[in-house]
Amino acid sequence: MPAGGDLYQFGPYRLDPEAGILYRGAEPTMLGQRAVALLRRLLESAGAPVSKDALIEAGWDGLAVADNNLTVQIAALRRVLADTADGESWIETLPRRGYRYVGPAVATHVSDASAAVRVASAPTLPEKPSIAVLPFSNLSGDPEQEYFADGMVDDIITGLARINWLFVIARNSTFIYKGRAVDVKQVGRELGVRYVLEGSVRKAGDRVRVTGQMIDALSGAHVWAERYDRGAGDICALQDEIALSAVGAIAPSVRKAEIERVKRKRPDNLDAYDLVLRAQPDVDSGMPEQVTRALALLERAIALEPAYALAHGNAAMCHHCLFLRAGLQEVNRDASIRHARSAIVHGQDDALALTWAGFSLGMDAHDRAAAFTTLEAALAISPSSALTYILGSVILGWGGEAERAIEWSEGGMRLSPFDSWAWAAFDAQAMSHLLRGRYEEACRAAYKSVQTNPAHSITYVQLAAALAKLGRLDEARAAAARVLELHPTFRYSRQFAGVNCAPALAEALGGALRDAGLPA
């Protein structure tokens, strides 16, 4: 019986290295000590190659032995595993390199001397959303693409692991599925995750196509899918670009799926995390009525967890919206700044909380230096955070830094083309093009902003200004009328003061809005 130390569970087997025994179910197998040591070394690096030298070190403790000794022990190990269907193929030979374990998922746990020997049950789902990224299939037949695909998956796992609200399975546990046809629901059960990401790589001529899809392992429903077609020039740069884009798109897709899941829970059975998720769509709306509703949920979350950085960050965003769109009341501006500072204090590892906080500092505290210190801290944690770039572009736009605003907005849209905050990125582009006298581009960006969020008055403000600059006054006045329908108390001079609009932009926008018929 195992009596302590790490145990390795895989398929029907359980390895107790300390006792030197491999169990199949409750029965010990006839496996020698050297084969046990080799198996342990392979399981420790499950899915990854283990060199011959490393295996000889593990099995013979540094003694100089011929390669055929290793071959004999691996053969003995395979004979024991052959008692299980396909078990003999779980140890893969890598010619001239070594060996690799490619069998069922490996669970490592500490033995309990008082517990009966038993097969470990499937891991339970963690409280926060969980994801496993499987090795991408190489469909091109080109061995070079194997390394490209593996490196890209490594980068995706690393990027997702930086998102503190997401539980990400490590590479060693997911790469055991490499080269195998898998059932996503089974993978979810074996690894204890809700979401599974899988994909493929195909090279054709000088082009590389990468596809990815994320599936809810419980229901089998597709959550996200994307295809990337790129030139195969600089493989390393291409690998980084696709990994960054995938992470940027996956994160909001997971959050959206989680919000839908929480909506199905009873309102009286919500913890702080659930409350924040349920509030998120109303926060994202930017509409006073909805954010007021969101604040009630966020205040409940903060009462449960006073140091919950993301709840404070979302609350800051709600008060920002109320400040700009519900009367420019100082009580809302003060609350926005107060919650932003709490988000910074408690959210040093939370990119999303820091993003909301940075936006509040830039827009409501009028402290753009502090805002970008905070936003850059968010990007250091999560370089794929599209929202950080998008909200940063809005601060830059109102600050009159037109070219940088366009650069940040385009960066955010590359990471998350269908982001719920896309309208803000287009809004930043519209005001920046207008400031630079590029009125056609400003008009195109403003139209995109309106199409993305037709309920938000600020999108029509930019459209009215751009149309007025183009001399299309009838259309400009129609857009201005829509501003006042959505925001009856709108006065552009008060808006400019509220966001600390750069003087040159205020002059350019103000003249155009006056021509469109909006009150100063």
Grouped pLDDT means (10 residues each) for the chain, 520 residues = 60 81 78 86 88 86 74 88 86 86 80 33 69 88 76 82 79 78 84 88 82 87 84 71 77 80 73 87 88 95 93 96 89 96 92 94 96 94 86 97 96 78 94 96 94 88 95 94 91 93 96 94
Kindly give the residue spans of alpha helices, DSSP state H, lying in 15-102.
33-44, 52-60, 67-81
CATH class for domain 130-263?
Answer: alpha beta
Q: Which two tokens stand for residue 444?
A: 């195109």
Q: Which two tokens stand for residue 127?
A: 């409280």
pLDDT of residue 185: 87
Between CA 256 and CA 263, with CA 164 as vertex, the angle to 5 degrees is 30
Structural domain boundaries in the chain: 6-110, 130-263, 384-520
pLDDT of residue 54: 87
pLDDT of residue 398: 97
pLDDT of residue 1: 28
Q: What is the pLDDT of residues 73-109, one digit of tens each?
A: 898 899 889 888 888 889 998 887 889 999 888 887 6
pLDDT of residue 122: 52
Sequence letter at residue 128:
K
- To the question of domain 6-110 being in CATH 1.10.3720.10, the answer is no
**SS3 labels along 215-260:** EECCCCCEEEEEEEEEECCCHHHHHHHHHHHHHHHHHHHHHHHHHH
Which residues, in sequence order, are bridge partners of residue 137? 200
Would you say 123 and 192 are in contact if contact means Cβ atoms under 8 Å apart? yes
What phi-psi label fits residue 208: left (phi over 0), alpha (psi between -120 and 50 degrees) or beta?
beta
Q: Which two tokens stand for residue 435?
A: 């400031």
pLDDT of residue 366: 96
Asked whether the whole model's pTM tops 0.75, one would answer no
Fold of 384-520: 1.25.40
Which are the contacts of 105, defined by CB distance < 8 A and separation ≥ 6?
A: 10, 46, 173, 176, 177, 187, 190, 191
In whole angstroms, give the CA distance from residue 195 to residue 187: 10
In whole angstroms, give the CA distance from residue 218 to residue 208: 32
Find how far residue 49's CA is from the centre of its chain: 28
pLDDT of residue 407: 95
User: What average pLDDT is seen over the chain?
Assistant: 85
pLDDT of residue 111: 42
In whole angstroms, give the CA distance from residue 405 to residue 413: 12
Burial 476-508 (b: 16+ CB within 10 A, else e): bbbbbebbeebbeebebeebbebbbbbeebbeb
What phi-psi label fits residue 471: left (phi over 0), alpha (psi between -120 and 50 degrees) or beta?
left
Sequence letter at residue 361:
L
Would you say 90 and 158 are in contact if contact means Cβ atoms under 8 Å apart? no
**Own/partner pairs, 284-288, CB within 8 angstroms, 24+ separation:** 284/420, 284/421, 285/455, 286/321, 286/325, 286/453, 286/456, 287/321, 287/325, 287/455, 287/456, 288/321, 288/322, 288/325, 288/326
